[in-house]
Amino acid sequence: MRKSFPSRPTGSPCLSQAVTLIDRVSGNAVALLAVVTFSPLALLTRDVVRRWLLIVVLLNIPFTIGRHLFYREDVGNLGSIGGFGITVTTFALAGLYLPRLLGTRRPSVSREVCRRAVSIPLALYVFVSFLSLLTATDVTVALYELLLLAELLLLHTYIVSEIRSGQQITRILQWLMVGLTVEALLMIALAAGLAEIGFIPVETRVDDQSPGGVIRQMNMLGIKGRIDENLTTHRVRVGGSVGSPNDAASYLGGACGIAMGLLLSSVSRRIKLLAGCGLSLGSIGVLLTGSRGGWFSLGIITAIIVYCSSRRGLVSWKIRLGIAVAFFLAAGTILSGVVDARLTEDDNGSAESRVPLMKLALLIIEDHPILGVGANNFPLAMQPYISRGFSGEFLYSVHNKYLLIWSEVGPVGLLSFAWFLIAAMRAGFRCWRLKDPLLSPIALSCSAVVAGEMFHMGVDIFRGTAVLELICVVTALAVVLESLAAPGRHFRHISGRVNMLSPV
């Protein structure tokens, strides 16, 4: 007869109780381990958490809290990205995409929306930039920019695939206005002498690109504030936490354009008040940057919005003209010295030196016509050309975004980049023609911002994280706005908010 053995010892009651306790503890430990492992992922799938992660991304656009790993000064000082940029946005985007990667959350809209004519060229541009690794002078330097491009693509794609209502759009724009207002206040404070306060640590270094110039940068709780000063003329140019004054002008000009669209749309009074504050302070900030390209860019943005809105009769042209005249008179009285000095005084060859750089870029394009010299590699690739008549010139990355892209990633990269911007601008104008009281003015401002930034790209580098992230947000909003305002969808306006109803 076969003898059966008990599953647990029965000889001692204490031993039996001990075994039972061990089983319970081990079971609780497994459960606790499962909770610790999967609860963060469960939190990331909640809408409120994802909403705040996106807000963090939006607020980090002007402030860019983070650092560059493996930074190379020889590259960064010549106008390229000098290291792997790891910022708050990097971690926030990881939190937004992790549930998708693990299959616990799917995009909120169909794939057809993600394959619209704006997203395709951006993805193509990033792909061609990665192909340029095959011809890169320094692969590591190329990866510095490719990491940023990957983040930009993820940010653009997330907004296109997740934002599906007018209320979400107004929330995004509200936080963009908060960032604009705070950044403009910081820049005005820097111009007024904030960096002179004793208890704020300030780093001062010589500006290699401006004779007799120094760069002073304060660091307060990870937020930096930059101000450039010419020790000869005592003129200052403010960059704020964005970085260089030219990048700051690009960011502020684009954000001011969005503020104009909000003032023309049917959002709530609270958001209009915030947009008005951002527009007033941001316009002063643009003047403080001393960026002539930024000034003309903001002028183009304003002209497009004023012209289109005047033709539709949203606001009387007399009222708009009176407000514009009053503002520019006030700003001119306060900042006339800054504007006059920048337009009339010697700029140490800053404008004149850009022509030789363009010629140098054309020589590089002639020698590398297909894939270019590699993303972010222009400063390294131009070294062999210095002896060909450029030894006495100002050496820096070419101040023309289109020539810079062409020389680094080739003609396909340039065409896809231009296609991306033009498609976004067209999407905004198509939404403007639909005459939605909330969405159309915002879409008009998105198109105007893209047009203004495209002009500014003709005279600047546009490698700054803030301005590139802002462009990605604006172009993504143009796609979403056109989709929401398209025929077949209805919107209900309640106290400046919009809820999308089902298609009819």
Give the domain ranges of the chain. Answer: 39-343+354-500
Helix extents (H) in 265-316: 269-289, 292-312
pLDDT higher than threshold 50 for residue 492: no
Q: Which residues contact 402 (CB under 8 A, 6 or more apart)?
A: 414, 417, 418, 457, 458
pLDDT higher than threshold 50 for residue 129: yes
Alpha-carbon distance of 281 to 192, in angstroms, equals 14
**What tokens does 139 get?**
């692969």
More confident residue, 290 or 451: 451
Q: Which residues contact 440 (CB under 8 A, 6 or more apart)?
A: 265, 431, 432, 433, 434, 481, 485
Kindly state the percentage of the chain with pLDDT values over 90: 43
Quote the pLDDT of residue 358.
Answer: 87
Cβ(459)–Cβ(354) below 8 Å: yes
What would the mean pLDDT of 250-258 be, rounded to a whole number? Answer: 95
**What tokens does 270 get?**
């609270």
Max mean pLDDT among 85-99, 403-417, 486-500 falls in: 403-417
What would the mean pLDDT of 130-136 be, rounded to a whole number? Answer: 93
Cβ(288)–Cβ(338) below 8 Å: yes
Q: Tokens 């920048």 correspond to what residue?
A: 342
Q: Is 143 exposed, middle or buried (0-12, 13-18, 19+ CB in 10 A)?
A: buried
Quote the pLDDT of residue 25.
Answer: 45
Task: Estimate the share of the chain in helix, then strand, then coil, as percent rounded to the nearest 5.
Answer: 65, 10, 25
pLDDT higher than threshold 80 for residue 462: yes
Tens of pLDDT, residue by residue over 319-355, are 566 656 656 655 555 555 555 555 445 445 455 567 8
| DSSP code at position 488 | T
| Three-class SS state of 64 | coil
Quote the pLDDT of residue 74.
Answer: 85
Quote the pLDDT of residue 495.
Answer: 35
Tens of pLDDT, residue by residue over 170-207, are 999 999 999 999 999 999 988 888 767 766 777 777 76
pLDDT higher than threshold 70 for residue 488: no
pLDDT level of residue 64 (50, 70, 90 thresholds): confident
Cβ(441)–Cβ(498) below 8 Å: no
More confident residue, 11 or 76: 76
Mean pLDDT, the chain, rounded, equals 80
Residue 104, number of CB atoms within 10 A of its CB: 13
Kindly state the percentage of the chain with pLDDT values over 70: 73
What would the mean pLDDT of 220-238 be, rounded to a whole number? Answer: 79
pLDDT higher than threshold 90 for residue 315: no
pLDDT level of residue 32 (50, 70, 90 thresholds): very low
Quote the pLDDT of residue 501.
Answer: 32
pTM of the model: 0.83
Quote the pLDDT of residue 317.
Answer: 58
CA atoms within 13 A on the CB side of 390: 21
Quote the pLDDT of residue 19.
Answer: 46
Quote the pLDDT of residue 386.
Answer: 77
Give the long-range contacts of residues 226-235, CB within 8 A, separation 24 or more: 226/190, 227/190, 227/191, 227/195, 233/341, 233/345, 235/290, 235/338, 235/341, 235/342, 235/345
Alpha-carbon distance of 256 to 262, in angstroms, equals 10
Quote the pLDDT of residue 154.
Answer: 94
Dihedral class, residue 165 (left if φ above 0, else alpha if ψ from -120 to 50, else beta): beta
Q: Tokens 């070419």 correspond to what residue?
A: 398
Quote the pLDDT of residue 424.
Answer: 93
Dihedral class, residue 488 (left if φ above 0, else alpha if ψ from -120 to 50, else beta): left
Amino acid identity at 140:
T
Quote the pLDDT of residue 253.
Answer: 95
Alpha-carbon distance of 153 to 97, in angstroms, equals 12
Cβ(183)–Cβ(467) below 8 Å: no
Q: Compute and round to an integer the Cα radius of gyration of the chain.
A: 27
pLDDT level of residue 497 (50, 70, 90 thresholds): very low
